[in-house]
Chains A and B, each alone.
Chain A
Amino acid sequence: MKTENPKSEIRNPQSEIPEQWQPKILAFLCNWCSYAGADLAGVSRIQYPTNVRVIRVPCSGRINPLFIFSALRQGIDGVLVSGCHPGDCHYISGNLVARRKFALLKNWLEYVGIEPERVQFSWVSAAEGGRFAEILQKVVDGVKQVGPIQKLTKDI
């Protein structure tokens, strides 16, 4: 049994990357480390890509995978989730429990054919402004290579 669906043909994002295109990146940063790290990057005048929109979450353990699916469906080209280094979580083990979830989520999206560059996870402490900028740059570069998100987006 097969239903025809006009959307079911494969689109090749590689060939369609428009010139001058800039990806939209969503970053979920935990309040106690990564958000402070991003803040430090700012006050230290470290340059980092302006593609990012930040959502501050209390802890990386707050991340529901549905947040990430929602972001991708709404046309976000790449998602970065960042929390405190393992062992440093303000809530002791939030990021350690989350790490299991992230590992599965990363594999799961890749399994169905979503480019792994689109969803990334990192640890950034409050003292690592430079590290935050570097990771973000890496995410932006990766997403630029795979082009605009098309696979899960809903055209309204």
Chain B
Amino acid sequence: MRQKTNLSDELKWVARKLFEENRIDLLIGYEKGTLPLHNRPCFVSSVEGVDKLVWDSLCANNLATYLPRLFTRTHRPKGWKPPRVAIVAKGCDARSVVGLIKEKQAPRENIVILGVPCDGVVDLRKIEDALDGACPVSAKVAEDGSIMLQLDSGKSVQVSREKALFDACSDCPYPDAPVFDIRIGREIGDKSARRPFKDVEEFEAKSPEPRWKYFLEEMSKCIRCYACRQACPNCYCPTCFAEQTQPKWLGVGADLPEVMYFHLGRIFHQAGRCVDCGACVRACPMGIDLRIFTRKMVKDVQELFGYEAGISLDEPPPLCTFKMEDDESFITEP
């Protein structure tokens, strides 16, 4: 259901209040970018900056990515205290924040999660396709959620919501933050469209060679820019295995075996942590289909251990624990 009240205004009001009551030092949210369709992350550190905040379906970035570096600084000037941070969080962002809290990358007591209801964010690539090369000069989200674009030719175009959303958003099971401190707007609440893993199941059903071929094809586009890693909230390691030198797991080239190694490793590192936010897919400049692979991890963790990332603060991460009756049908017997 679409919200009646203006969420941006409500967000500004809450943000102003938080600063005025001195409950936070920093707020991470979104502001209008310089290009149409591009809302960008912004950092607000006093009440003066509050007015630039916006919230609509052009706010795609997963803001949780910025959290760990605020708390895990190695250089701590005298008198440094961990900041108190409010973060604007869609369902997926909030789940990432929960994950980071559980992994001790952010102290719970310093975080104020501002849960915003999200009925999906817009995929710029889909809009580009719909415009077929035309250049938009301004963009607006209409009442019904469709995207109204003014083109440089003077024409205006409307792209329907269904055609504009990210794949990850159109079947999102958690449009509201499952854990939050302050809710902005009203809960969407509709979890009827629980994300089925149809795409993964179809991929699994193929025989090994087409699966390998697809993996190879996607991987051969990769230029190893690491944008996927940088955008992922779970990839906060000070030294990633891809850059470690003791031991040196990987060479620096972009040849296929190295690229495949990187992605096999990175995606495996997302086991039990990936919230299917799509940040890695959005960040990839080569348009690689990473999602079919990251979602395999999500599905397996759910099926094997009954665990969904970022839903509760109490459940231990699945790979730090075990059950005596865990599946071991894969074990080789003589």
Contact = CB atoms under 8 A, between A and B. Distances in A.
Interface of A: 1-3, 5, 7-8, 10, 12, 65-66, 69-70, 73, 80, 86-87, 93, 96-97, 99-115, 120-123, 131, 134-135, 138-139, 151-154
B213 A122 contact: no
Nearest to A123: B331
Contacts, number: 132
Closest 6 CB pairs of A and B: A113-B212, A134-B334, A154-B257, A96-B322, A5-B220, A113-B211
A142 B258 CA distance: 26
Given A8-B220, A69-B265, A114 B212 contact: yes
Given A96-B324, A152-B261, A104 B211 contact: no
Contacts of A87: 324
A114 B249 CA distance: 20
25 contacts: A10-B209, A10-B213, A10-B216, A12-B209, A69-B261, A73-B257, A97-B322, A100-B304, A100-B318, A101-B271, A103-B300, A103-B327, A103-B328, A104-B271, A108-B264, A108-B297, A108-B300, A110-B208, A112-B264, A113-B209, A113-B210, A135-B332, A152-B261, A154-B255, A154-B257
Given A2-B217, A97-B319, A100-B318, 7 more contacts: A87-B324, A99-B326, A100-B305, A102-B330, A112-B212, A113-B208, A113-B211
B258 A104 contact: no
Contacts of A105: 268
A31 to B, nearest CB: 19
A151 B209 CA distance: 11
Given A1-B286, A69-B261, A112 B322 contact: no
Interface of B: 203-204, 208-217, 220-221, 241, 249, 251, 255-258, 260-261, 264-265, 267-268, 271, 286-287, 293, 296-297, 300-301, 304-305, 318-322, 324, 326-328, 330-334
Contact of B300 (A8, A69, A104): A104
B122 to A, nearest CB: 21
A99 B257 contact: no
Given A73-B257, A102-B330, A108-B296, A7 B320 contact: no
Contact of B258 (A93, A101, A107, A154): A154
